[in-house]
């Protein structure tokens, strides 16, 4: 299935990328993160499991067990610091 | 027994009961507004607290309490060497508005409010600039104080904004604070951010 992936703040900056389209068979957010980690380089560093990374699917905060679907918008970002 | 029943305009429904014997007003189920983008604004422009509150009260004679919070850009973060010369606010367009609308819905569900307004600025800001406004109206002060604090606690940990401080030594993304998660937990919401 095809997903739209978005990155924000320090993750966006570190990857030098705000969004990308991706073809994947990952069924969950966790599986997708594994796939991105396997790319190595900045992906492995910025999305590493030891780091605080928050995820939204279709603009709703989710955890790694969340299911993915065709056309989903998945965003990875650091903890939020508004206000 | 209802001594008083008010049908409000189409966007809101209010049912209030007056305890006739007590001579004291109590609320059964107060106002629930339908979601409207007018409750939330994400903008680069500054805001006028007085004008925002005037619009929120808008001749509503039910309102007996207005509570507002304005967050401002600090000129120095204790953890950062040197002065903060500027602050850049990034957000997630679309999700930001949805997340804050959901927070306002939650505030209306928890507290007897008549109105609520959230303005959050994005883009480049400077020390002393206003950054966020939360304002709520209710019949009595308790609900307005609580709802205002609830909305800010929620916003600090659940709305997709990120701050980057600029100092003479370079830029630095502001870290989330565990104490902000603890503040939200006081309302019975265990949502980890930091």
Per-residue pLDDT tens digits for A52-73: 999 999 999 999 999 999 999 9
Sign of the torsion formed by the C-alpha atoms of B108, B112, B114 and B116: negative
Determine the distance in angstroms separating the CA of A15 from the nearest CA of chain B, rounded to an integer.
Answer: 15
pLDDT of residue B77: 63
Q: B92 near A6, Cβ under 8 Å?
A: yes
- Compute the 3-state secondary structure of chain A and give helix, strand, coil in percent, each to the nearest 5: 25, 30, 45
Segment B22-37, tens digit of pLDDT: 333 333 333 333 333 4
The superfamily (CATH) of domain A2-77 is Beta-grasp domain (3.10.20.30)
- Interface A-B, measured as beta-carbon pairs within 8 A, has a size of 77
Among all residues of chain A, which has the CA nearest to that of B134? A83
Average pLDDT, chain B: 82
Check B161 against A81: CB less than 8 A apart.
yes
CA distance B12 to B32: 6
Q: In sequence order, what are the residues at sequence separation of 6 or more whose Cβ sits closer than 8 angstroms to the Cβ of residue B28?
A: B15, B16, B17
Q: Which residue of A has its CA nearest to B98?
A: A59
Q: Which residues contact B76 (CB under 8 A, 6 or more apart)?
A: B83, B84, B127
Burial pattern B37-64, b for ≥16 Cβ within 10 A else e, equals eebbbbeeeebeeeebbeebbeeeebbe
Cα–Cα distance, B5 to A39 (Å, whole number): 64
Phi, psi of B94 (to 5 degrees): 95, -65
First-to-last alpha carbon distance for chain A, in angstroms, is: 36
Strands, E assignment, chain B? 12-19, 24-33, 40-43, 65-72, 86-91, 113-121, 123-125, 130-138, 161-167, 170-173
Enclosing H/E stretch for A25: none
pLDDT score at B58: 87
Q: Nearest CA to CA, how far is A82 from chain B (Å)?
A: 5
In this model, does residue B16 exceed pLDDT 70? no
Low-confidence ranges of chain A (pLDDT < 70): none
Chain A closest-CA separation from residue B35 CA (Å): 17
Mean pLDDT for all residues in chain A: 97
Ordered by where they begin, the domains of chain B are 1-34 (no CATH), 35-185 (3.90.1170.40)
> B40, B71, B92, B153: which to substitute to probe chain A, counting the most A Cβ within 10 Å?
B92
pLDDT tops 80 at residue B76? no
């Amino acid at each position: 299935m095809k997903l739209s992936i978005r990155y924000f703040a320090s993750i966006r900056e570190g990857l030098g990328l705000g969004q990308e389209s991706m073809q994947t068979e990952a069924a969950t957010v966790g599986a997708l993160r594994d796939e991105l980690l396997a790319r190595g380089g900045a992906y492995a560093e910025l999305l590493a499991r030891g780091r605080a990374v928050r995820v939204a699917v279709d603009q709703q905060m989710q955890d790694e067990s969340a299911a993915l679907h065709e056309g989903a918008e998945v965003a990875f970002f650091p903890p939020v610091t508004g206000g | 027994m209802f001594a008083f029943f008010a049908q409000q305009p189409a966007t809101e429904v209010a049912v209030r009961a007056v305890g006739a014997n007590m001579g004291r007003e109590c609320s059964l189920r107060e106002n629930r507004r339908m979601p409207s983008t007018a409750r939330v604004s994400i903008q680069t422009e500054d805001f006028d607290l007085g004008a925002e509150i005037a619009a929120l009260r808008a001749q509503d004679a039910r309102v007996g309490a207005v509570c507002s919070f304005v967050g401002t850009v600090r000129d120095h973060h204790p953890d950062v060497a040197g002065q903060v010369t500027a602050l850049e606010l990034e957000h997630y367009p679309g999700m930001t508005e949805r997340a804050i609308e959901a927070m306002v819905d939650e505030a209306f569900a928890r507290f007897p409010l008549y109105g609520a307004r959230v303005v959050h600025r994005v883009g480049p800001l400077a020390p002393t600039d206003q950054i966020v406004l939360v304002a709520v109206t209710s019949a009595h002060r308790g609900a307005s104080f609580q709802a205002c604090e609830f909305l800010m606690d929620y916003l600090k940990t659940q709305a997709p904004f990120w701050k980057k401080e600029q100092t003479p030594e370079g830029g630095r993304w502001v870290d989330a604070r565990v104490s902000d998660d603890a503040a939200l937990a006081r309302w019975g919401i265990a949502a980890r951010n930091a």
